[in-house]
Chain A
Amino acid sequence: MKKIYLDVSMVMIGTNFTGVPRVVMELAKRLYNSGKFDINFVEYNQKNDAFRLLDTDGFIKFTETKTDKRNAIRTDKYIPFEEMEEGSIFFDCDTVWKTRVRRSFLYPILKKNGVKVVPFIHDIIGIDYPQFCENSDVMNFIDFIGASLLYADRIIVTTNTTKKAILAQGERMKMDLPDIAIVGLGGDFNRKTTNEENVKAKIKDIAAAGDYFLMVGTIEPRKNHKLLLETYQKHLRGKINLVMAGYSGQGMEDFFEKIANDPDCDKGLWHVDNASDDDINYLYKHAFAFVFPSYIEGYGLPLIEAFIREVPVIASDNDINREVAGERALFFEQDNSEDLAKIINELLSDEEKYKTLRESVKGYKPRTWDETGNNLIKEFEGIYGEKENCIC
């Protein structure tokens, strides 16, 4: 059976299983369940300075239970970097640039030993938008992306926007790149019925206070919450409320001060921290519209989450939002609060227009994780096919 190694070092120490860890787990399950591959989950072990093999069934079970007790998954079998099996695939889809095994070190060894390298690049925000990232993270990300461009047999991305960004880097540096395949992410989130008993009283009060436009996501510079605040303060005060739900990220002290000093703070303008899933569902369900002013996204999952909940979406006009939202959303010029306010005002005053936007998201069906898994399996089969057909 075809062997695939998957380094899950970051998932094995993780405490949060949304975002990339969720992608890793969903893909791991599909690859395993297909029965087509011999899947080997590994994590770096510092004591032995090698990959430790994890118990396959144990890891698959862990993707369901997400228990804190993970030692039972760890075996006492170790694979030195130089002894990964020739002809196998080393598949990276975790946040591997944060692990101790630099890919600038690992990938050349794998290639030398006939292992196929297949990195799953979620985005290249750290390269094209480093202003939104920590310097140290950017340095580690350059290591990963550089090694991927140099040593990958095939690169897998989630969007055409990311593919184009990688191709642009290749063109700029005049280098031949490996094949880049697009495997879009799944989004079959349960359309959770909100358990209203669990919704905090504050959340219900916010929803009852009047129409509001909503943003969900960590409050950080990249997400551009400041534009929402500016739009509210300059153009929409008294016409519609603004709710921003998300954890407080770093470098936003001035922003939170502006909210705290606003006369409408906690009256028409809210920042909701530590919201539960039920709280978030409730906020989506009652929102007039979901507004997404982000500068750049890896995949724009909040857009999909809004669509699943059939909430009208207004997004900043950039490649990734256009690609993910397509015809279902309205778009405003990036960083233009007047343009955003104009759209919201039109929706508030023009019932037909608002109804049309609402209709456009009715019955939205996201791609399922099974589809994502099948597409990924096809890519792996293609890679193995290339090898088997090789007459050299």
Chain B
Amino acid sequence: MAVSRDDRTVYEGLFEHVKNELEKNNQILNCDKEGFLSQLGTAPKKVSYEEMKDLEGEAFLSCAFMAFFQRLPNDAEIETCKDLGKEEILKYLSNKASFSIRGIELTDCPYDVKPGLKGKIFGKAATVASSPALRKTAKKMPAGIQNKIRGTFR
């Protein structure tokens, strides 16, 4: 569900403000504006391809990551996707654990994008591992190990 044009103006205003604040502090916002604005209003599970189909390059990647996972791609993911077409990017994303964990359903999409086997397996594992007791145990581990665990289920 895309947001209305009037609403979009407000989100855009906040985006620009944040971008300027980061630049004042010599930082950059690693998110394409069109990509960000296009994914606003996305439902938790049903993601429409319609909202991202006209985007290209960085905008498409930002939009897809935010729409599916509510996060931006990291450097390794950007590198992996840089030479891929839209269909390949979607298939790469659908093979991530988070795609299965979130039960994402991509609608209005001409490509056959379904959760991959790897994602399904890690998705099941994540369901078991997400109990508060296990999370509490994991939080006592060194930061490096915690990051590895997080990375596995992203």
Q: Which residues of A contact B (CB under 8 A)?
A: 13-16, 44, 46-47, 49, 68, 70, 100-102, 104-105, 108, 126-131, 135-136, 138-140, 142-143, 145-146, 149-150, 169, 172-173, 175, 248, 250
Is A130 in contact with B22, judged by CB distance below 8 angstroms? Answer: yes
Contact flag A104-B41 (CB < 8 Å), given A46-B102, A136-B71, A145-B14: yes
Chain A contact residues: helix, strand, loop or mixed: helix
Question: CB within 8 A of A68: which of B102, B136, B143?
Answer: B136
Q: Which chain B residues lie closer than 8 Å to A70 at the CB level?
A: 132
Is B45 in contact with A139, judged by CB distance below 8 angstroms? Answer: no
Question: CB within 8 A of B21: which of A49, A131, A136, A172?
Answer: A131
Question: CB within 8 A of A136: which of B70, B130, B133?
Answer: B70
A138 to chain B, nearest CB (A): 6
Is A169 in contact with B36, judged by CB distance below 8 angstroms? Answer: no
Q: Considering the complex of A and B, which 7 residue pairs feature the smallest CB-CB distances, nearest first?
A: A131-B25, A136-B71, A173-B13, A100-B44, A146-B11, A68-B133, A68-B132
B101 to chain A, nearest CB (A): 8
Is A135 in contact with B102, judged by CB distance below 8 angstroms? Answer: no
Q: Which chain B residues lie closer than 8 Å to A138 at the CB level?
A: 18, 29
Is B21 in contact with A130, judged by CB distance below 8 angstroms? Answer: yes
Is B102 in contact with A100, judged by CB distance below 8 angstroms? Answer: yes
Q: What is the number of contacts between chain A and chain B, taking CB atoms within 8 Å? A: 108
Q: Which chain B residues lie closer than 8 Å to A101 at the CB level?
A: 44
Chain B interface size band reads 35 or more
Interface presence of B40 (CB below 8 A): yes
Extra pairs beyond A131-B25, A138-B29, A145-B14 (10, CB < 8 Å): A14-B132, A15-B139, A49-B46, A68-B133, A104-B7, A104-B42, A108-B3, A108-B7, A126-B18, A136-B72
Is B44 in contact with A104, judged by CB distance below 8 angstroms? Answer: no
Q: Which chain B residues lie closer than 8 Å to A250 at the CB level?
A: 143
Is B132 in contact with A44, judged by CB distance below 8 angstroms? Answer: no
Q: Considering the chains assembled together, what is the distance between the CA atoms of A41 and B15 in angstroms?
A: 32
Interface presence of B43 (CB below 8 A): yes
A256 to chain B, nearest CB (A): 12
Is A142 in contact with B14, judged by CB distance below 8 angstroms? Answer: yes
Is B102 in contact with A104, judged by CB distance below 8 angstroms? Answer: no
Interface presence of B1 (CB below 8 A): yes
Q: Which chain B residues lie closer than 8 Å to A68 at the CB level?
A: 131-133, 136
Q: Which chain B residues lie closer than 8 Å to A47 at the CB level?
A: 103
Q: Considering the chains assembled together, what is the distance between the CA atoms of A47 and B36 in angstroms?
A: 26
Is B30 in contact with A135, judged by CB distance below 8 angstroms? Answer: yes
Is B3 in contact with A104, judged by CB distance below 8 angstroms? Answer: yes
Interface presence of B53 (CB below 8 A): no
Q: Which chain B residues lie closer than 8 Å to A173 at the CB level?
A: 9-10, 13-14
Q: Which chain B residues lie closer than 8 Å to A44 at the CB level?
A: 44
A194 to chain B, nearest CB (A): 24
Is B18 in contact with A149, judged by CB distance below 8 angstroms? Answer: no
Interface presence of B82 (CB below 8 A): no
Which chain B residue has the least Cβ–Cβ distance from A16?
B139
Which chain B residue has the least Cβ–Cβ distance from A70?
B132
Is B18 in contact with A130, judged by CB distance below 8 angstroms? Answer: yes
Is B42 in contact with A135, judged by CB distance below 8 angstroms? Answer: no
Contact flag A128-B44 (CB < 8 Å), given A68-B132, A140-B70: no
Is A129 in contact with B7, judged by CB distance below 8 angstroms? Answer: no
Interface presence of B124 (CB below 8 A): no
Encode B12-28 as 1/0 by CB contact (under 8 A) with A.
01110110011001010
